[in-house]
A and B are shown apart, each in its own frame.
Chain A
Amino acid sequence: MNYHWNWAVFFQSTPSGGATYLEWIWSGVQVTVALSLSAWLMALLLGSLVGVLRTTPNRWFAGIAAGYVEVFRNIPLLAQLFIWYFVLPELVPGGERFKQIHPVAQQFIAAMVCLGFFTSARVAEQVRAGVESLARGQKAAAVALGFTLPQTYRYVLLPMAYRIIVPPLTSEFLNIFKNSAVCSTIGLLELAAMGRQLVDYTAQPYESFIVITLLYVAINVVVMLLMRQVEKRAHIPGYIGSGK
């Protein structure tokens, strides 16, 4: 094989204007991080709600929450993304208005909503596992003290459950960055999409993919180090190491 390595390629300017390829990559990193963080926020809120509902004594709530989790866990992420992006705007009222906003905004919103719902089902399972792992006496004690059900969750169950499930939540948080690469398929110019674009424009596939892959590894490492600090602070004295 005689492949011509050329690492200087990233400093060349792109055909579309003054920007260098390096700036393209950087904008890809920004989109990936912005997308993942906003989807993560959504997943945490929705997932907590659904996970709590699944553990409530109300059968209807628990059943609906269980159905929610099954739907989002048993359809491939790619299929979900295409349904959010291509199908729902056709079917729901207001879809016409969605199709009139800026294409990049459409892609970003569809990607965020998709990743948010997809991950929320997984967060919900972790929240449920966390609540169910608590000793039954905790809930009984709260009831004995005259707490209402919402109060029991707010002051007794959830503060413990969240601290127990930090390690599995960390891996879901890491997953959302990796899963965001799927959103390149609807044309969103995040990191993976920039990689493909670089291959097309520079004809230097190896350099491009190596840099993009290393950037994903770097994002992974940064998130892991950050979450390690969170884990340390959330650790419950008296519990053995990490929860999982």
Chain B
Amino acid sequence: MYEFDWSSIPRSLPFLWQGLTVSFAITAVALVVGILWGTALALMRLSSVKPLSWFAAGYVNLFRSVPLVMVLLWFFLIVPQFLQNLFGLGRAADTRLISAMVGFALFEAAYYSEIIRAGIQSVSKGQLAAAAALGMTYGQSMRLVVLPQAFRNMVPLLLTQAIILFQDTSLVYVSALADFFGAAYKVGDRDGRIVELLLFAGAVYFVLCYGASYAVRRLQQRMTP
């Protein structure tokens, strides 16, 4: 029978905490950039300018049909070279965190844009007509009338997607970047305590994500009258 020894977890808590902050940082950047770029993509997709809407459709469909692991591998391959050329960095410079953030932001934007597009389309047409009747331009009516209502309806979905995003950040493992999961794996590997560390990591993710999804559900109940 396996004998558990949990002693390496308390000892490495600072390292694990550092990993968790990396996970949070990637989530936060990808969330903010993803929603901004996703909104732009959704507006392009709904635009009457055909090339814009084709571009957005192509972008979204491409990213949605490729595994996240592949997207991350691409970004760990390309972004470092790009940054090195741009800033004349040495080959040794660690660009993995930036690569991960860029990769996640561009990938998540495709998913966010679909949520936002549905949100915009759920606003009734009369709103646009009313804004036009008040003499607003298209840009004004989107910014002042449609998007505020759309975002209000979308908050629960956007937050649920953020929880999925937080779980997905563990995939930066493919670049050996020490996010929370990577840190836990490294400690387990070092101390020969992979069983305990993986169970601990799973439990931490579960508590965080279950708590967050419970909060989202409460919010949703409060929002629906």
Interface of A toward B, CB cutoff 8 Å: 1, 70-71, 73-80, 82-83, 86-87, 90-91, 174, 177-182, 184-185, 192, 195-196, 199, 205, 209, 212-213, 216-217, 220-221
Contact = CB atoms under 8 A, between A and B. Distances in A.
Interface string B191-225: 00011001101100110011001000000000000
A31 B85 CA distance: 38
Contacts of B171: 76, 78, 182
B70 A195 contact: yes
Interface stretch (B28-36, B59-67, B95-103, B149-157): B59-67
Identify the 5 closest CB pairs spanning chains A and B, nearest first.
Answer: A181-B67, A74-B209, A220-B65, A76-B167, A178-B67
A83 B173 CA distance: 15
Given A1-B85, A70-B210, A76-B167, A216 B67 contact: yes
Given A182-B171, A205-B77, A80 B70 contact: no
Nearest to B208: A74
Interface string B165-181: 00110110110000001
Contacts of A70: 210
Nearest to B23: A76
Contact of B173 (A78, A86, A195, A216): A78
18 contacts: A1-B81, A70-B210, A76-B170, A76-B181, A76-B205, A78-B171, A79-B170, A83-B199, A90-B2, A178-B65, A181-B68, A182-B171, A185-B69, A212-B70, A213-B74, A216-B70, A217-B66, A220-B65
B137 to A, nearest CB: 33
Contacts of B85: 1
A217 B198 contact: no
A195 to B, nearest CB: 7
Contacts of A216: 65-67, 70
Contact of A192 (B2, B70, B168): B70
Interface string B32-65: 0000000000000000000000000000001001
A83 B70 contact: no
- Taking residues whose C-beta sits less than 8 angstroms from the other chain, chain B's interface range is 20 to 34
A17 to B, nearest CB: 26
Interface of B: 2, 62, 65-70, 73-74, 77, 81, 85, 163, 167-168, 170-171, 173-174, 181, 185, 194-195, 198-199, 201-202, 205-206, 209-210, 213
Contacts, number: 99
A87 B167 contact: no
Contacts of A71: 206
B69 A74 contact: no
Nearest to B4: A91
Given A182-B171, A220-B65, A80 B73 contact: no
A170 B200 CA distance: 34
Given A76-B167, A76-B205, A182-B171, A87 B194 contact: yes
A80 B167 CA distance: 11
Contacts of A1: 81, 85
B65 to A, nearest CB: 4
B67 A179 contact: yes
B174 A185 contact: yes
A79 B69 contact: no
Contact of B170 (A78, A86, A179): A78
B205 A192 contact: no
Contacts of A192: 67, 69-70, 73
Contacts of B168: 76
Nearest to A178: B67
A24 to B, nearest CB: 16
B209 A75 contact: yes
A1 B134 CA distance: 53
Nearest to A182: B69
A74 B195 contact: no
A78 B209 CA distance: 15
B173 A185 contact: yes
A195 B174 contact: no
A87 B66 contact: no
B77 A184 contact: no
A184 B69 contact: yes
A178 B194 CA distance: 27
Contacts of B201: 79
Interface centre among B74, B85, B163, B194 (most CB of A within 10 A): B74
